[in-house]
Amino acid sequence: MIISIQNLKKQYKKEWVLKGIHIEVKTPTIIALVGPNGSGKTTLLNCMTNLLGFSEGDIYLLGKKHTNPSIFKEVSYLQDNRILYGNLTGYDHLKFICDVQHIPHNQIKQVAEKIGMTSYLKKRVRNYSLGMKQHLLLAMSIINKPKLLLMDEPLTGLDPSSAITIRNVLLELHHQGTTIMLSSHNLDEIDRLTNTIYFMKSGLIMEESLAELHQKQYIVTVNDGEKAMRILKEHAIPYRFIQTNQLSFVEMDLKLPHFIQKMTEHEVCIEDIDSYKTGAEQRYQELFEGVE
Amino acid sequence: MLKIWLFEMKKITKSLFIFIMLVLLIFIILGYFVFVYVNTVRTDDIIMEIKDRVYLQEQHLEDLNQLDNQEEGQNNTGLKEEIDFQKEYLSKEKDMVEAYRQKDWSTILAKEIKDDEDAGIHSTNKIISYSTFPTAFTTETRYQKNKWLRDRGIPPVLPIGTSSWTTMYDVDFGDKRAEAFVKNQSTKYSSTGINFLSHVFKQLFHYVAPIFFVLLFGNMLTKEGIGKNGPIQLLQTQPIRLYQLLISKLAATMTITILILLCVSIFSVLMGTIFDRFGNLDYPVLIYETERSYHFITMGVFLLKVFIISMMVLLFCYSLLFFFSVITRHTLSAVGLTILVIFITHQWNEGFAESLIFSFTPFSYFSVTKVVTNELAVTLNNEYFTYPTGLIILGSYSIIFFLASYFILLKRSNAKK
């Protein structure tokens, strides 16, 4: 088991911030935590890394209790940039992690090159831009080649090219077998990274996957809607009536060539086919309309 | 743990705040050196002083000679004796001028010793001069100190007259004017390297240094350390155990403290050596004992003892700062509370200075030089208040506060499940 969280509850000043989180991750996945501010995303990540206590529940990461410091040999946590020491250089930060985790120092150069931060690696962090700091935080969290990477808002303050770099690095890590759990408000980037999204609302995980929603959907306009519906019922094909002569289907329920063949056989004329995909943003709007 | 310690060291040494504070410290020491240098009495000052006396003496002798000429034929034996006495006195004064000019310390000290012996040092009525300056204790210790200097060929810190040496037993000075004069004479400064270093410790280590170091490392031990957020979270999300983290932080703080104190010491001695001379590590320092007894230790031993107990005082301050930072989780609150507690307990302590509790309170040992010279113990008539007790008390309290902080943090960590 990569992540096992059972009934996690966290109370803060008489208010329940987490109200019973259950998460089980068995295979390497990229998981996005999405939710409005105050929904408990960072709290969940901080609880998982033992930076915060909690009231009830159990957390196991990679089969070990989350309070065991040795988990950090295989678990990395990318936090916000307040953890950086302004007086030290990026190199100092990476060297420290290499030292305490017994990683060869030549990894520093490799990681810096991969992320594209060699030019400012030896500058003091207080002179870094927000994007540079995010790069450094990423480098610090992947230098130990973790099996589990937890990330709190890794895409904040990034210009498009940095976002692409970080996305590519994360996808590469994922292909190498790393499980990544990240919180973010950047829903477009999330769509590009994963279709496993945990929508968090008021301390609960509302929905665990967008896999179904990510199926392609079709809106078909025909010349005889009633006849078309009769044919679909005969063949037990699920559909949704939109308006006169207009029906919608989910790709997993209906293969388009098969549909066209049936309609042609029964002399129903297809006038138009339109396709669309539901994304994180659309689902977010549906779930959290008016929340923020 | 060594790697964490090195990282902590790097954080401190690269801190701009610490750099600024150290520059400030250098300027304070420089300023203090200028003050000490200006107020150091030198041989030229003494020569001028004696010459003034010689001039007046010569005037007086001339007057006596004129009187003697006017009374020629009359056999005024009293006047002749007076003239002879004045001539002898004048001769001695001129010899002293020459001795000071030649920096012939053995002659100068021999004269002081002889004067004390002529004045009957060993027959002083100790009951009469129990608190009136110069007390028997003061005269005796001054005599022995001069012998120590003469026997070891050590130049004295000037001036060396009777009124330039006081002890804690000198309470009554007759009148305010006399008191002011004696205190002015006995407040001696020396800009030689070793003596300047002792001035620095005496002045800086009475609350100034603890507060300075608490401010210096407050940021490291609190804001970045135990606060709610901040860089500590980087360390907490590494395969490092809590005790390793805390010990490394403490070790780094103490290492830098020792380095700063060593640099301050070297800088002070260097300043003195460049602008004056090195000084002498064998210079005598008076250590009080019970029943009005005493002994001398060398300046080298004195400075070493002051250095050690100063470190213990700072260790205790850090433990207190650490404790408050764990409790408050806020930099300014922790630093403010630490400084406040140091001040308040100092004031509060004086209320029961003669009780047994006083010797078991760590704050009582902040006057490090008075602890080393045993002056506080004798003043307070508290036999438990000694240098070794100070080291044990400061060390014990430091351990207690550190352990308390550790267990609070551990409890919080365990409460996380």
For chain A, which residues make up each domain, given as ranges? 3-207, 216-281
- What CA–CA distance (Å, rounded) separates A80 from B245? 21
Maximum Cα–Cα distance for chain A, whole Å?
Answer: 76
Tokens of B390: 């100070």
| Mean of the per-residue pLDDT values of chain A | 84
- State the complex-level ipTM: 0.71
Topology adopted by domain A3-207: Rossmann fold (3.40.50)
The single-letter DSSP state of residue A69 is G
Q: Do A96 and B7 touch (CB under 8 A)?
A: yes
Q: What number is the average pLDDT over the span A256-280?
A: 80
B residues 210-239 lying closer than 8 A (beta carbon) to A: 224, 229-231, 233-234, 236-239
Q: What pLDDT was estimated at residue B275?
A: 95
The arithmetic mean of pLDDT across residues A234-262, rounded, is 76
Return the pLDDT at B147: 93
pLDDT tens, residue by residue, A90-112: 999 999 999 989 999 999 999 99
- State residue A118's pLDDT score: 92
Q: Which helix (H) or strand (E) holds B284?
A: strand B284-288
- Which chain A positions have a beta carbon within 8 Å of B234's beta carbon? 79, 83-85, 93, 140
- Residue A181 main-chain phi, psi, to 5 deg: -120, 120
Estimate the crossing angle of helix A130-142 against helix A90-100, to 10 degrees: 20
Query: To probe the interface with A, which of B2, B11, B238 has the most A CB atoms within 10 Å?
Result: B238
Quick one: pLDDT band at residue A258, thresholds 50, 70, 90? confident
What mean pLDDT do residues A102-130 have?
Answer: 92
State whether A50 and B239 contact (CB < 8 Å).
no
Task: Say which of B229, B237, B239 has its CB closest to residue A82.
Answer: B229
Quick one: pLDDT at residue B290? 84
Nearest to A67 among B10, B231, B416 (CB): B416
What is the H or E stretch that residue B40 is in?
none
B245 to B2, B140, B328: CA distances (angstroms): 11, 55, 19
Task: Give contacts of A43 with chain B, Cβ < 8 Å.
Answer: none
Alpha helices in B153-286 (DSSP H): 176-186, 193-204, 208-218, 232-236, 242-275
Beta bridge mates, A15: A12
Distance from CA of B243 to the nearest CA of A (A): 12
The predicted structure's pLDDT at residue A277: 63
d(CA B409, CA B243): 10
Do B90 and B61 touch, CB atoms closer than 8 A?
yes
H or E element, residue A289: none
Closest by Cα among B358, B237, B12 to A52? B237
Smallest Cα distance from A71 to chain B, Å: 7
Strands B294-298 and B284-288: antiparallel
A69 to chain B: closest CA residue: B239
Q: What is the pLDDT of residue A215?
A: 59
Query: pTM value?
Result: 0.77
- Return d(Cα A219, Cα A237) in angstroms, integer: 14
Fold of domain A216-281: Alpha-Beta Plaits (3.30.70)
Cβ–Cβ below 8 Å for B238 and A72:
yes
CA dist B211 and A182 (Å) reads: 44
**For residue A69, cis peptide bond before it (omega within 30 degrees of 0):** no
| Cβ neighbours for B21, distance < 8 A, ≥ 6 positions apart | B212, B215, B216
- Among candidates A47, A58, A87 on the partner chain, residue whose Cβ is nearest the Cβ of B15: A87
Residue ranges of chain B whose pLDDT lies below 70: 73, 121-129, 205-206, 220-231, 349-355, 413-417
Q: What is the mean pLDDT of residues A5-10?
A: 88
- DSSP reduced 3-state for B297: strand
Which chain B positions have a beta carbon within 8 Å of A49's beta carbon?
Answer: 236-237
B4 close contact with A: CB closer than 8 A: yes
Q: Does B7 touch chain A (CB under 8 A)?
A: yes
Residue in chain B closest to A11 (alpha carbons) equals B416
Helix axes B208-218, B331-350, angle to 10 degrees: 160
What is the average pLDDT across A109-118?
A: 91
> DSSP per residue over A177-244, as a string?
T-EEEEE-S-HHHHHHH-SEEEEEETTEEEE---TTTTSEEEEEEES-HHHHHHHHHHTT---EEEET
- Within chain A, strands assigned E span 3-12, 15-25, 30-34, 56-61, 64-65, 75-78, 148-152, 179-183, 196-201, 204-207, 216-222, 240-243, 246-250, 270-277
As a whole number of angstroms, the distance between CA B199 and CA B295 comes to 21
